Chain A
């Protein structure tokens, strides 16, 4: 089944598959439920009488009627027609491919999977403790003072920062004046896009000789109109800006905020901390660096962290610990408002926390693109191998226990 070059024969499945709404037959069922027992019916009456008239549907939903095997076959056929995506996919660092089973097992535990954000806080202590504990780990890695997990991915976290910037400027009476966000042509495009979505003008710095924009170009872009710098380092081509600390200083001097987009964090995890470089805020994608599956079970998580100066502006609720108990702090009058519903995709946070704890502090600072990572790996990252010689940076906030 292989040709002379050793390539295997292949052809995708082709199905003339109707839409699910066009399948089935009236009266066909996947499950036939037993009749309600007479004693139960006598006690509670007809089920439909339990639903208030103004909440009940006027007509039953027009759903297709199929047997269980028909449904399974239909979706199997569709999955076979998804243009592959089951073969060798060298889409590596953009999402960490190793999603540990232990993380899935932890997130599926009923104590965690069956809680609801509308439960009273005293019944949510366990899950809030996990969220807070993971917050501490990210603070340890970044030097920031508070993380939230509400954003549904990296772009959403960049948008969070743009909203935070608006709230920051509004509080200082500078929202009209400071209407420009600076980014680079090799920052992830979400930085420019979310800045524009939040109403800012975007100033895009171009690459120069070193493969990154020059400090002179940054200086030329800075003015009394500067609201913020949104930047990746290493950038979208894996290139480091060695002058990043000076950049942060210059932006602050001009009155702007600095946001570190940690899309490419794996090579520098444990080697540098955004806050020590002077950044006001940063974000991590849990699927890129912390072993959570990408797009699994809902949206991703863009973990957004910021300095204590910006923390009052964070979207609510913020999980806080006081007097040995955890609570959801909604009472934050300076908050920029919600970015998403509730507290974000909590199972992703659980999986990332399980990954971080099972790796431990030292291993978590040797990410899988690095030759020192403690499982079989043959890929070498120039960023990782160099960084490994550097000491692990830590503040010792007790996150790793």
Chain B
């Protein structure tokens, strides 16, 4: 399949869990979050699975099992999915500091200026 959009519109209607939530939860299973779609979305809650030639059938079965599990979770406990990831290096990425010139720093010198010399990072 090439550039074929699938939709989780029904899941969103039924549970409130959308495609971005599912993508976040996928990372908890060691599977890369899928690519959703370019903007604007022309189908509701889209995702675009494209299996190139490098993955085996077992890999793809594993990927499908992860999606099936997350859909089950959404119906049983939507907050589990909406608050994902839980098993990752960090929790959900907060985008606001990335848009704030007082926070981000492209150089060490800028980092020290914005955070102070004694900062422990983070």
Contact = CB atoms under 8 A, between A and B. Distances in A.
Interface of A: 5-8, 10-15, 18-19, 21-22, 62, 80-94, 96-98, 185-186, 188-189, 207, 234-238, 264, 266-267, 368-369, 373, 375-384
Contacts of A13: 89
Contacts, number: 141
A88 B55 contact: yes
Contact of A97 (B39, B54, B60, B62): B54
Contacts of A384: 2
B75 to A, nearest CB: 15
B94 interface: no
Contact of B65 (A6, A19, A381): A6
Interface string B77-99: 00000000101111000000000
B63 A238 contact: no
A13 B87 CA distance: 9
B5 interface: yes
B76 interface: no
Contacts of B30: 8, 10, 12, 84, 86-87
Contact of B87 (A12, A88, A93): A12
B31 A87 contact: yes
B13 interface: no
A284 to B, nearest CB: 16
A207 B43 CA distance: 12
Nearest to B39: A189
24 contacts: A7-B62, A10-B28, A13-B89, A19-B108, A87-B29, A88-B31, A88-B63, A89-B31, A89-B32, A90-B49, A90-B51, A90-B52, A91-B50, A92-B50, A93-B52, A96-B52, A97-B52, A97-B54, A236-B38, A238-B2, A266-B2, A373-B53, A379-B51, A380-B1
B90 A81 contact: yes
A237 B3 contact: yes
Contacts of B54: 97-98
Most B Cβ at <10 Å: residue of A11, A84, A188, A383: A84
Interface in B22-41: 27-35, 38-40
A264 B50 CA distance: 13
B94 to A, nearest CB: 14
A21 B109 CA distance: 10
B121 to A, nearest CB: 5
B42 to A, nearest CB: 7
